[in-house]
Amino acid sequence: MTDRYAVFGHPIAHSKSPLIHASFAQQTGQDLVYEAILAPLDGFVDSIRQFQTNGGKGANITIPFKEQAFSLCKQRTPRAELAGAVNTLVFADNAITGDNTDGAGLIADLTHNLGFALADKHVLLLGAGGAARGVIGPLLECSPASLVIANRTANRAHDLAAHFQHQGFHTVSACGLGELNAPFDLIINATAASLGGELPPISSQVFKSHALAYDMMYGKDITPFMKLAQRHGAHIADGLGMLVEQAAEAFYLWRGVRPATASVIAALRAA
């Protein structure tokens, strides 16, 4: 019987995940279907239970349910535990295990696809929401010289930095967006500003010449953040590679087969 998987979110119509997983399944010869399911804002857990009861084997979770998914799972992987958010569910024997593949996706895109070595680099992470939470642990595990989390609401950044310092990571610190005045090797925009075509209010001094400016947002146009970075001599990248890489990591968890990603990224870009 064909195995069922799905991504749950609200909204969900825009999701590229069904396309990506269909492409992985075809490439690896796996017999599965993957659909996008709009979960009601007040009915996420019921939607997941229903899917599991009807034979679902696993799921991805996106905005705004990653923290509810974390609470739902009795079993969680260490990286999901560290992130405090879950984006991948594995169903087996009536149990649900929660994982978070966002960080692995970002690191794979940075290191394998973009050739950026994180060790000893000064890294700036803009944002303190769900996407930022998922990538901080994996970034710190790559031994950057420093990681500064900067957020519009500075307290949220300070809380996140304190959480990771408490886990033994002493190179992480936090500040408000207006306090930034030093240059960084890697600047990651994990704010939702680009979604609304806005620029996070940051000084252009953060862009060291030849730095990499990475916007987690993806779309056909370059974002105001990427434009600013480019004007100040930085290289730019969007989040499409991260999206495909986090999906590949989830696919591997479910099927035990790691799909190739380069052709999928290229096909999505061409489309």
Active site residues: 66
Shortest spacing between CB 217 and ligand NDP, in angstroms? 4
Could you tell me what percentage of the chain is helix, strand and coil, using 3-state DSSP and rounding each to the nearest 5? 40, 25, 35
Q: Distances from the Cα of 188 to the Cαs of 88, 126, 191, 215, in angstroms? A: 23, 6, 9, 6
Q: Which residues pair with 148 in a beta bridge?
A: 124, 173
Question: HSE (CB half, 13 Å, CA atoms) of 21?
Answer: 27
- Using the rule CB under 6 A, give the single segment among 33-41, 114-122, 166-174, 187-195 that binds ligand NDP: 187-195
Shortest spacing between CB 182 and ligand NDP, in angstroms? 19
- Round to the nearest angstrom and report the end-to-end CA distance of the chain: 31
Binding test (CB under 6 A) with ligand NDP, winner from 149, 151, 180, 261 = 151
Kindly report each contact of residues 198-201 with a partner whose C-beta sits within 8 Å and lies 24 or more positions away, as own/partner. Answer: 198/224, 199/224, 199/225, 199/228, 200/126, 200/127, 200/152, 200/225, 201/152, 201/177
Residue 60 binds to ligand NDP (criterion: CB under 6 A): no
Shortest spacing between CB 64 and ligand NDP, in angstroms? 7
Residue 131 binds to ligand NDP (criterion: CB under 6 A): yes
Decide whether 52 or 65 has the Cβ nearer to ligand NDP.
65
92/247 Cα distance (integer angstroms): 19
Residue 103 binds to ligand NDP (criterion: CB under 6 A): no
Residue 102 binds to ligand NDP (criterion: CB under 6 A): yes
Q: Within 189-248, which residues bind ligand NDP (CB under 6 A)?
A: 190-195, 198, 200, 216-218, 239, 242-243, 246
Q: Distances from the Cα of 233 to the Cαs of 40, 114, 117, 260, in angstroms? A: 44, 17, 19, 32
Shortest spacing between CB 226 and ligand NDP, in angstroms? 12
Strand ranges, E, within 117-192: 122-126, 146-151, 172-176, 184-189
Binding test (CB under 6 A) with ligand NDP, winner from 98, 103, 127, 138 = 127
Residue 180 binds to ligand NDP (criterion: CB under 6 A): no
Decide whether 47 or 191 has the Cβ nearer to ligand NDP.
191
Q: Within 61-80, which residues bind ligand NDP (CB under 6 A)?
A: 63
How many chain residues bind ligand NDP (CB under 6 A)?
Answer: 28
Q: Distances from the Cα of 193 to the Cαs of 17, 114, 128, 165, 190, in angstroms? A: 22, 23, 12, 27, 9
The residue behind tokens 């075509």 is 197
> Could you give the string, one character per residue 153-172, with x where binding to ligand NDP holds by CB under 6 A and - elsewhere?
x--x----------------
Residue 19 binds to ligand NDP (criterion: CB under 6 A): no
Residue 57 binds to ligand NDP (criterion: CB under 6 A): no
Decide whether 61 or 234 has the Cβ nearer to ligand NDP.
61
Q: Distances from the Cα of 176 to the Cαs of 68, 161, 186, 189, in angstroms? A: 27, 12, 18, 14
Point out which residues bind ligand NDP (CB under 6 A): 63, 102, 105, 127-132, 151-153, 156, 190-195, 198, 200, 216-218, 239, 242-243, 246
